[in-house]
Amino acid sequence: MTRIEVPDIGDYKDIPVIEVLVQVGQRVEQEQSLVMLESDKATMDVASPTAGVIKELNVSVGDKVSQGVVIVLLESEGTEHNEVVSSPAVAASVAQDPAQPETNVTTVPVPEPESAPAPLHRTLARESEPVPESHASPSVRKLARELGVEISRVQGSGPKQRITLDDVTAFVRNVMTTSSGTPAVPPSPVSANGAELGLLPWPRVDFAKFGPVDSRPLSRIKKISGATLHRNWVMIPHVTNNDEADITELEALRTQLNGEYEKSGVKFTILAFVIKAVVAALKKFPALNASLKGDNLVFKHYYHIGFAADTPNGLVVPVIRDADRKGLVEIVREMGELSKLAREGKLKPDQMQGGCFSISSLGGIGGTHFTPIVNAPEVAILGLSRSAMKPVWDGQQFVPRLILPLSLSFDHRALDGAEAGRFNAYLVSLLADYRRMLL
Protein backbone atom coordinates (compact mmCIF):
# COMPACT_ATOMS: atom_id res chain seq x y z
CA MET A 1 0.00 0.00 0.00
CA THR A 2 1.27 3.48 -0.88
CA ARG A 3 0.32 6.36 1.39
CA ILE A 4 0.04 9.49 -0.75
CA GLU A 5 0.53 12.66 1.26
CA VAL A 6 0.03 16.35 0.56
CA PRO A 7 3.38 17.43 -0.94
CA ASP A 8 5.55 20.41 -0.11
CA ILE A 9 3.32 23.39 -0.83
CA GLY A 10 5.48 26.15 0.57
CA ASP A 11 4.19 28.11 3.53
CA TYR A 12 0.55 27.21 2.98
CA LYS A 13 -1.38 25.59 5.84
CA ASP A 14 -4.96 24.41 6.25
CA ILE A 15 -5.73 24.55 2.53
CA PRO A 16 -9.33 23.64 1.66
CA VAL A 17 -10.03 20.63 -0.54
CA ILE A 18 -12.30 22.01 -3.27
CA GLU A 19 -12.67 18.89 -5.39
CA VAL A 20 -12.14 15.15 -4.99
CA LEU A 21 -11.56 13.57 -8.39
CA VAL A 22 -11.40 9.86 -7.46
CA GLN A 23 -13.31 7.34 -5.37
CA VAL A 24 -12.54 4.13 -3.48
CA GLY A 25 -12.02 1.18 -5.80
CA GLN A 26 -11.13 3.34 -8.78
CA ARG A 27 -8.00 2.53 -10.76
CA VAL A 28 -5.78 5.55 -11.46
CA GLU A 29 -2.86 6.09 -13.77
CA GLN A 30 0.45 7.70 -12.93
CA GLU A 31 0.17 11.51 -12.81
CA GLN A 32 -3.65 11.30 -12.70
CA SER A 33 -5.20 14.04 -10.56
CA LEU A 34 -6.55 12.90 -7.19
CA VAL A 35 -7.73 16.06 -5.43
CA MET A 36 -7.66 19.80 -5.98
CA LEU A 37 -6.60 22.23 -3.25
CA GLU A 38 -7.20 25.97 -3.28
CA SER A 39 -5.21 28.60 -1.40
CA ASP A 40 -5.70 32.34 -1.70
CA LYS A 41 -3.08 32.39 -4.45
CA ALA A 42 -3.45 29.24 -6.49
CA THR A 43 -5.45 26.14 -7.24
CA MET A 44 -3.20 23.10 -6.85
CA ASP A 45 -3.69 19.75 -8.45
CA VAL A 46 -2.29 16.79 -6.43
CA ALA A 47 -1.54 13.86 -8.72
CA SER A 48 -0.80 10.19 -8.11
CA PRO A 49 2.92 9.38 -8.36
CA THR A 50 2.16 5.85 -9.55
CA ALA A 51 -0.59 3.73 -11.06
CA GLY A 52 -2.81 1.64 -8.81
CA VAL A 53 -6.20 1.22 -7.16
CA ILE A 54 -7.67 3.58 -4.55
CA LYS A 55 -8.15 1.55 -1.35
CA GLU A 56 -8.86 4.37 1.07
CA LEU A 57 -9.80 8.04 0.63
CA ASN A 58 -9.11 10.17 3.69
CA VAL A 59 -10.36 13.60 2.55
CA SER A 60 -13.58 15.09 1.27
CA VAL A 61 -14.63 18.43 -0.16
CA GLY A 62 -14.31 21.16 2.45
CA ASP A 63 -11.61 19.45 4.52
CA LYS A 64 -8.49 21.50 5.28
CA VAL A 65 -5.11 19.87 4.80
CA SER A 66 -1.46 20.74 5.21
CA GLN A 67 1.82 19.22 4.07
CA GLY A 68 2.19 15.61 5.18
CA VAL A 69 -1.51 14.83 5.55
CA VAL A 70 -2.34 11.42 4.03
CA ILE A 71 -5.03 11.88 1.40
CA VAL A 72 -5.11 8.47 -0.27
CA LEU A 73 -4.07 4.88 0.36
CA LEU A 74 -3.16 3.39 -3.00
CA GLU A 75 -2.55 -0.25 -3.84
CA SER A 76 0.33 0.29 -6.22
CA GLU A 77 1.08 -1.98 -9.10
CA GLY A 78 4.20 -4.02 -8.44
CA THR A 79 4.53 -2.83 -4.81
CA GLU A 80 5.05 -5.46 -2.11
CA HIS A 81 5.46 -3.26 0.94
CA ASN A 82 4.04 -0.13 2.50
CA GLU A 83 5.57 3.19 1.53
CA VAL A 84 4.85 6.85 1.96
CA VAL A 85 4.82 9.04 -1.12
CA SER A 86 4.56 12.82 -1.16
CA SER A 87 3.24 13.53 -4.62
CA PRO A 88 5.58 15.84 -6.54
CA ALA A 89 3.01 16.61 -9.20
CA VAL A 90 1.43 19.81 -8.01
CA ALA A 91 0.28 22.07 -10.84
CA ALA A 92 -0.81 25.57 -9.85
CA SER A 93 -3.13 27.75 -11.86
CA VAL A 94 -2.96 31.45 -11.05
CA ALA A 95 -5.72 32.71 -8.75
CA GLN A 96 -4.62 36.35 -8.68
CA ASP A 97 -3.52 39.12 -10.90
CA PRO A 98 -0.46 37.86 -12.77
CA ALA A 99 0.91 41.14 -11.98
CA GLN A 100 0.30 41.11 -8.30
CA PRO A 101 3.54 40.93 -6.35
CA GLU A 102 1.96 42.11 -3.10
CA THR A 103 0.91 38.55 -2.40
CA ASN A 104 4.28 37.51 -3.74
CA VAL A 105 6.10 38.84 -0.70
CA THR A 106 4.59 37.03 2.23
CA THR A 107 2.14 34.23 2.80
CA VAL A 108 -0.33 34.76 5.60
CA PRO A 109 -2.38 31.79 6.85
CA VAL A 110 -6.04 32.46 6.18
CA PRO A 111 -8.30 32.13 9.25
CA GLU A 112 -11.14 29.63 9.39
CA PRO A 113 -14.40 31.14 8.18
CA GLU A 114 -15.95 30.60 11.62
CA SER A 115 -13.33 32.76 13.33
CA ALA A 116 -12.85 35.37 10.62
CA PRO A 117 -13.02 38.93 11.97
CA ALA A 118 -15.93 41.11 11.00
CA PRO A 119 -15.24 43.24 7.92
CA LEU A 120 -13.78 46.59 8.90
CA HIS A 121 -16.14 48.44 6.58
CA ARG A 122 -19.32 47.26 8.33
CA THR A 123 -21.34 50.20 9.70
CA LEU A 124 -21.97 50.62 13.43
CA ALA A 125 -25.67 50.04 12.91
CA ARG A 126 -24.92 46.60 11.53
CA GLU A 127 -22.23 45.75 14.07
CA SER A 128 -24.70 44.43 16.60
CA GLU A 129 -26.57 42.30 14.08
CA PRO A 130 -25.73 38.60 13.89
CA VAL A 131 -23.53 37.85 10.90
CA PRO A 132 -24.55 34.70 9.03
CA GLU A 133 -21.81 32.18 8.48
CA SER A 134 -20.51 32.28 4.91
CA HIS A 135 -18.77 29.28 3.41
CA ALA A 136 -16.19 30.37 0.87
CA SER A 137 -12.63 29.45 -0.07
CA PRO A 138 -9.75 31.85 0.71
CA SER A 139 -9.46 32.91 -2.93
CA VAL A 140 -13.17 33.76 -3.06
CA ARG A 141 -12.87 35.80 0.15
CA LYS A 142 -9.80 37.54 -1.26
CA LEU A 143 -11.68 38.52 -4.43
CA ALA A 144 -14.59 39.79 -2.32
CA ARG A 145 -12.23 41.94 -0.23
CA GLU A 146 -10.59 43.41 -3.33
CA LEU A 147 -13.97 44.28 -4.83
CA GLY A 148 -15.23 45.79 -1.58
CA VAL A 149 -17.93 43.12 -1.24
CA GLU A 150 -19.17 41.99 2.17
CA ILE A 151 -19.01 38.21 1.80
CA SER A 152 -21.95 37.67 4.17
CA ARG A 153 -24.22 39.47 1.67
CA VAL A 154 -23.45 37.05 -1.17
CA GLN A 155 -25.77 34.10 -1.77
CA GLY A 156 -23.82 30.90 -2.45
CA SER A 157 -24.77 28.61 -5.32
CA GLY A 158 -22.23 25.84 -4.69
CA PRO A 159 -22.64 22.64 -2.67
CA LYS A 160 -24.12 23.37 0.78
CA GLN A 161 -24.56 27.02 -0.33
CA ARG A 162 -20.81 27.48 -0.69
CA ILE A 163 -19.94 30.84 -2.27
CA THR A 164 -18.06 30.61 -5.57
CA LEU A 165 -16.11 33.15 -7.63
CA ASP A 166 -19.06 33.40 -10.00
CA ASP A 167 -21.36 34.26 -7.08
CA VAL A 168 -19.12 37.19 -6.10
CA THR A 169 -18.85 38.52 -9.66
CA ALA A 170 -22.61 38.09 -10.15
CA PHE A 171 -23.21 40.07 -6.94
CA VAL A 172 -20.98 42.87 -8.23
CA ARG A 173 -22.73 42.90 -11.61
CA ASN A 174 -26.07 43.14 -9.84
CA VAL A 175 -24.84 46.07 -7.74
CA MET A 176 -23.51 47.84 -10.82
CA THR A 177 -26.80 47.56 -12.70
CA THR A 178 -29.32 48.29 -9.94
CA SER A 179 -29.77 51.39 -7.86
CA SER A 180 -31.02 49.59 -4.76
CA GLY A 181 -28.33 46.95 -4.43
CA THR A 182 -25.48 49.10 -3.14
CA PRO A 183 -23.55 47.30 -0.36
CA ALA A 184 -23.49 48.94 3.07
CA VAL A 185 -19.90 50.14 2.72
CA PRO A 186 -18.39 53.63 2.48
CA PRO A 187 -17.03 54.89 -0.84
CA SER A 188 -13.84 53.08 -1.75
CA PRO A 189 -11.47 53.49 -4.70
CA VAL A 190 -11.21 49.70 -4.94
CA SER A 191 -14.91 49.12 -5.36
CA ALA A 192 -16.29 48.07 -8.73
CA ASN A 193 -19.48 50.07 -8.17
CA GLY A 194 -19.24 53.42 -9.96
CA ALA A 195 -22.05 54.88 -7.83
CA GLU A 196 -19.82 54.67 -4.76
CA LEU A 197 -17.35 56.97 -6.52
CA GLY A 198 -20.06 59.43 -7.40
CA LEU A 199 -20.15 58.17 -10.98
CA LEU A 200 -23.04 57.19 -13.19
CA PRO A 201 -24.09 53.53 -12.89
CA TRP A 202 -22.64 51.08 -15.40
CA PRO A 203 -24.68 51.08 -18.65
CA ARG A 204 -27.25 48.31 -18.79
CA VAL A 205 -27.57 47.39 -22.45
CA ASP A 206 -29.36 44.59 -24.25
CA PHE A 207 -26.74 44.07 -26.96
CA ALA A 208 -28.81 41.39 -28.70
CA LYS A 209 -31.32 43.95 -29.96
CA PHE A 210 -28.60 45.49 -32.13
CA GLY A 211 -27.45 42.24 -33.71
CA PRO A 212 -26.15 38.73 -33.03
CA VAL A 213 -24.01 38.34 -29.91
CA ASP A 214 -22.04 35.57 -28.24
CA SER A 215 -21.44 35.64 -24.49
CA ARG A 216 -18.39 33.86 -23.10
CA PRO A 217 -17.24 33.78 -19.48
CA LEU A 218 -13.94 35.40 -18.55
CA SER A 219 -11.10 33.03 -17.78
CA ARG A 220 -10.26 32.42 -14.15
CA ILE A 221 -7.07 34.45 -14.45
CA LYS A 222 -8.89 37.45 -15.94
CA LYS A 223 -11.66 37.36 -13.34
CA ILE A 224 -9.17 37.40 -10.49
CA SER A 225 -6.68 39.81 -12.04
CA GLY A 226 -9.29 42.35 -13.06
CA ALA A 227 -9.94 43.45 -9.48
CA THR A 228 -6.24 43.85 -8.77
CA LEU A 229 -5.57 45.78 -11.96
CA HIS A 230 -8.49 48.05 -11.12
CA ARG A 231 -7.10 48.67 -7.65
CA ASN A 232 -3.60 49.40 -8.94
CA TRP A 233 -4.84 51.79 -11.63
CA VAL A 234 -7.11 53.71 -9.26
CA MET A 235 -4.85 53.85 -6.20
CA ILE A 236 -1.44 54.41 -7.83
CA PRO A 237 -0.81 57.83 -9.43
CA HIS A 238 0.71 56.59 -12.68
CA VAL A 239 3.10 58.58 -14.81
CA THR A 240 4.66 57.06 -17.94
CA ASN A 241 8.03 58.14 -19.32
CA ASN A 242 8.52 57.18 -22.98
CA ASP A 243 11.94 56.89 -24.58
CA GLU A 244 13.67 55.09 -27.44
CA ALA A 245 16.80 52.94 -27.43
CA ASP A 246 19.07 52.38 -30.43
CA ILE A 247 19.55 48.59 -30.38
CA THR A 248 21.23 48.22 -33.77
CA GLU A 249 24.48 46.83 -32.34
CA LEU A 250 22.60 44.82 -29.70
CA GLU A 251 20.49 43.13 -32.38
CA ALA A 252 23.66 42.26 -34.29
CA LEU A 253 25.10 40.70 -31.12
CA ARG A 254 21.87 38.78 -30.50
CA THR A 255 21.92 37.38 -34.04
CA GLN A 256 25.57 36.38 -33.68
CA LEU A 257 24.97 34.62 -30.36
CA ASN A 258 21.97 32.74 -31.73
CA GLY A 259 24.22 31.37 -34.49
CA GLU A 260 26.89 30.32 -31.99
CA TYR A 261 24.41 28.66 -29.59
CA GLU A 262 22.12 27.13 -32.21
CA LYS A 263 23.23 23.56 -31.52
CA SER A 264 22.72 23.93 -27.75
CA GLY A 265 19.09 24.98 -28.19
CA VAL A 266 19.56 28.42 -26.61
CA LYS A 267 17.63 31.20 -28.35
CA PHE A 268 18.49 34.73 -27.25
CA THR A 269 15.76 37.36 -27.18
CA ILE A 270 15.95 41.11 -26.75
CA LEU A 271 13.98 40.70 -23.50
CA ALA A 272 16.84 38.69 -21.96
CA PHE A 273 19.29 41.52 -22.72
CA VAL A 274 16.81 44.05 -21.31
CA ILE A 275 16.54 42.09 -18.05
CA LYS A 276 20.30 42.27 -17.54
CA ALA A 277 20.32 45.97 -18.41
CA VAL A 278 17.40 46.66 -16.04
CA VAL A 279 19.29 45.03 -13.16
CA ALA A 280 22.28 47.31 -13.83
CA ALA A 281 19.96 50.33 -13.93
CA LEU A 282 18.24 49.31 -10.68
CA LYS A 283 21.61 49.16 -8.96
CA LYS A 284 22.35 52.71 -10.09
CA PHE A 285 18.84 53.95 -9.20
CA PRO A 286 17.81 51.90 -6.12
CA ALA A 287 14.60 53.88 -5.56
CA LEU A 288 13.05 51.93 -8.44
CA ASN A 289 13.93 48.67 -6.68
CA ALA A 290 11.83 49.60 -3.66
CA SER A 291 8.27 49.41 -2.33
CA LEU A 292 6.05 51.82 -0.44
CA LYS A 293 5.06 50.65 3.03
CA GLY A 294 3.09 53.32 4.84
CA ASP A 295 5.29 56.40 5.04
CA ASN A 296 8.46 54.39 4.38
CA LEU A 297 10.20 53.38 1.18
CA VAL A 298 11.58 49.85 1.58
CA PHE A 299 14.76 49.38 -0.47
CA LYS A 300 15.47 45.81 -1.62
CA HIS A 301 18.95 44.39 -1.91
CA TYR A 302 17.90 41.59 -4.23
CA TYR A 303 16.90 41.69 -7.88
CA HIS A 304 13.95 39.46 -8.73
CA ILE A 305 12.62 40.45 -12.16
CA GLY A 306 9.12 39.52 -13.30
CA PHE A 307 8.22 39.26 -16.97
CA ALA A 308 4.72 39.05 -18.44
CA ALA A 309 4.06 35.72 -20.18
CA ASP A 310 1.18 35.35 -22.60
CA THR A 311 -0.96 32.23 -22.03
CA PRO A 312 -4.27 30.99 -23.50
CA ASN A 313 -6.04 32.09 -20.30
CA GLY A 314 -4.39 35.48 -19.89
CA LEU A 315 -1.15 37.08 -18.77
CA VAL A 316 0.84 35.74 -15.83
CA VAL A 317 4.10 37.07 -14.41
CA PRO A 318 6.81 34.49 -13.66
CA VAL A 319 9.76 35.79 -11.66
CA ILE A 320 13.45 35.28 -12.38
CA ARG A 321 15.08 35.32 -8.95
CA ASP A 322 18.51 36.83 -8.34
CA ALA A 323 18.84 37.99 -11.94
CA ASP A 324 21.98 39.90 -10.93
CA ARG A 325 23.75 36.61 -10.16
CA LYS A 326 22.84 34.88 -13.43
CA GLY A 327 24.48 35.07 -16.81
CA LEU A 328 22.64 35.80 -20.02
CA VAL A 329 22.50 32.14 -21.08
CA GLU A 330 21.05 31.11 -17.72
CA ILE A 331 18.40 33.83 -17.91
CA VAL A 332 17.41 32.77 -21.43
CA ARG A 333 17.01 29.14 -20.37
CA GLU A 334 15.05 30.04 -17.23
CA MET A 335 12.75 32.33 -19.21
CA GLY A 336 12.02 29.49 -21.62
CA GLU A 337 11.25 27.04 -18.82
CA LEU A 338 9.00 29.48 -16.93
CA SER A 339 7.16 30.50 -20.10
CA LYS A 340 6.47 26.84 -20.93
CA LEU A 341 5.10 26.19 -17.45
CA ALA A 342 2.95 29.32 -17.71
CA ARG A 343 1.40 28.21 -21.00
CA GLU A 344 0.66 24.78 -19.53
CA GLY A 345 -0.84 26.29 -16.35
CA LYS A 346 1.77 24.57 -14.19
CA LEU A 347 3.52 27.53 -12.57
CA LYS A 348 3.93 27.01 -8.83
CA PRO A 349 3.12 29.86 -6.42
CA ASP A 350 6.77 30.42 -5.49
CA GLN A 351 7.60 30.94 -9.18
CA MET A 352 5.38 34.03 -9.21
CA GLN A 353 6.42 35.51 -5.87
CA GLY A 354 8.93 38.09 -4.71
CA GLY A 355 9.20 40.23 -7.84
CA CYS A 356 10.57 43.73 -7.31
CA PHE A 357 10.42 45.08 -10.90
CA SER A 358 8.37 43.86 -13.87
CA ILE A 359 8.76 43.99 -17.64
CA SER A 360 5.89 43.72 -20.11
CA SER A 361 6.89 43.17 -23.74
CA LEU A 362 4.66 43.68 -26.76
CA GLY A 363 7.59 43.43 -29.15
CA GLY A 364 6.25 40.37 -30.90
CA ILE A 365 2.84 41.99 -31.40
CA GLY A 366 3.34 45.64 -32.23
CA GLY A 367 2.72 49.17 -31.07
CA THR A 368 4.91 52.21 -30.54
CA HIS A 369 4.32 53.00 -26.84
CA PHE A 370 1.81 52.07 -24.15
CA THR A 371 1.15 52.60 -20.43
CA PRO A 372 1.80 49.43 -18.42
CA ILE A 373 0.06 49.29 -15.02
CA VAL A 374 2.39 49.23 -12.00
CA ASN A 375 2.27 45.95 -10.05
CA ALA A 376 1.69 46.95 -6.43
CA PRO A 377 3.69 47.03 -4.22
CA GLU A 378 6.36 47.64 -6.86
CA VAL A 379 6.90 51.28 -7.81
CA ALA A 380 7.74 50.90 -11.51
CA ILE A 381 7.20 48.68 -14.54
CA LEU A 382 8.86 48.75 -17.96
CA GLY A 383 6.96 48.24 -21.22
CA LEU A 384 8.67 47.24 -24.46
CA SER A 385 7.03 47.85 -27.84
CA ARG A 386 8.01 46.62 -31.29
CA SER A 387 11.40 47.75 -32.58
CA ALA A 388 11.52 49.37 -36.01
CA MET A 389 14.06 50.79 -38.42
CA LYS A 390 14.16 54.61 -38.37
CA PRO A 391 16.33 57.27 -40.00
CA VAL A 392 18.61 58.80 -37.36
CA TRP A 393 20.80 61.88 -37.88
CA ASP A 394 24.44 61.09 -37.02
CA GLY A 395 25.66 64.67 -37.41
CA GLN A 396 26.32 64.43 -41.12
CA GLN A 397 23.57 62.31 -42.60
CA PHE A 398 20.54 60.18 -41.82
CA VAL A 399 21.39 56.52 -41.25
CA PRO A 400 19.02 53.56 -40.66
CA ARG A 401 18.99 52.42 -37.04
CA LEU A 402 16.90 49.82 -35.20
CA ILE A 403 14.93 51.66 -32.50
CA LEU A 404 13.23 50.01 -29.48
CA PRO A 405 10.44 52.04 -27.78
CA LEU A 406 10.51 51.96 -23.95
CA SER A 407 7.59 52.92 -21.68
CA LEU A 408 8.40 53.27 -17.97
CA SER A 409 5.34 53.64 -15.73
CA PHE A 410 6.08 54.66 -12.15
CA ASP A 411 4.34 55.49 -8.88
CA HIS A 412 4.61 59.26 -8.53
CA ARG A 413 4.29 58.98 -4.74
CA ALA A 414 7.61 57.12 -4.56
CA LEU A 415 9.42 58.64 -7.54
CA ASP A 416 9.55 62.02 -9.18
CA GLY A 417 9.70 62.48 -12.93
CA ALA A 418 13.37 63.47 -12.95
CA GLU A 419 14.54 60.27 -11.26
CA ALA A 420 12.39 58.08 -13.49
CA GLY A 421 13.63 59.97 -16.55
CA ARG A 422 17.26 59.44 -15.53
CA PHE A 423 16.61 55.73 -15.04
CA ASN A 424 15.09 55.42 -18.51
CA ALA A 425 17.89 57.49 -20.09
CA TYR A 426 20.53 55.32 -18.41
CA LEU A 427 18.76 52.17 -19.57
CA VAL A 428 18.74 53.56 -23.11
CA SER A 429 22.50 54.11 -22.94
CA LEU A 430 23.09 50.52 -21.75
CA LEU A 431 21.02 49.04 -24.56
CA ALA A 432 22.74 51.25 -27.13
CA ASP A 433 26.18 50.11 -25.93
CA TYR A 434 26.11 46.92 -23.87
CA ARG A 435 29.78 47.39 -22.93
CA ARG A 436 28.72 50.14 -20.50
CA MET A 437 27.56 47.47 -18.07
CA LEU A 438 31.21 46.62 -17.49
CA LEU A 439 31.87 50.06 -16.03
* Closest to 141 (Cα-Cα) out of 81, 200, 77, 95: 95
* Closest to 313 (Cα-Cα) out of 336, 347, 337, 360: 347
Q: How many CB atoms lie within 10 A of CB 175?
A: 25
- Cβ neighbourhood burial of 252 (10 Å; 0-12, 13-18, 19+): exposed
Residue 337 gets the label, from left (phi > 0), alpha (psi -120 to 50) or beta, of alpha
Q: How many CB atoms lie within 10 A of CB 116?
A: 16
Is 412 designated active site?
yes
Sequence-distant (6+) residues with CB within 8 A of 278 are 305, 357, 359, 382, 427
Which is the catalytic residue, given 135, 238, 369, 412?
Answer: 412
- β pairing state of 15-20 and 305-307: unpaired
What's at 218, amino acid-wise? Answer: L
Give the span between the Cα atoms of 430 and 333, in whole angstroms: 22
Give the span between the Cα atoms of 393 and 401, in whole angstroms: 10
Give the span between the Cα atoms of 9 and 168, in whole angstroms: 27
Torsion angles phi and psi, residue 386, rounded to 5? -75, 130
Q: How far is CA 391 from CA 3, 37, 38, in A?
A: 68, 56, 54
Extended strands (E) in 294-433: 296-299, 305-307, 309-311, 314-316, 319-320, 357-361, 380-384, 388-393, 398-411
Residue ranges in 85-150 assigned as alpha helix (H) = 124-127, 138-147
Q: How far is CA 277 from CA 221, 283, 305, 436, in A?
A: 30, 10, 11, 10
Sequence-distant (6+) residues with CB within 8 A of 168 are 140, 143, 144, 147, 149, 151, 154
DSSP type of residue 25: T
H helix or E strand, kind and range, residue 246? strand 238-246
Catalytic residues: 412
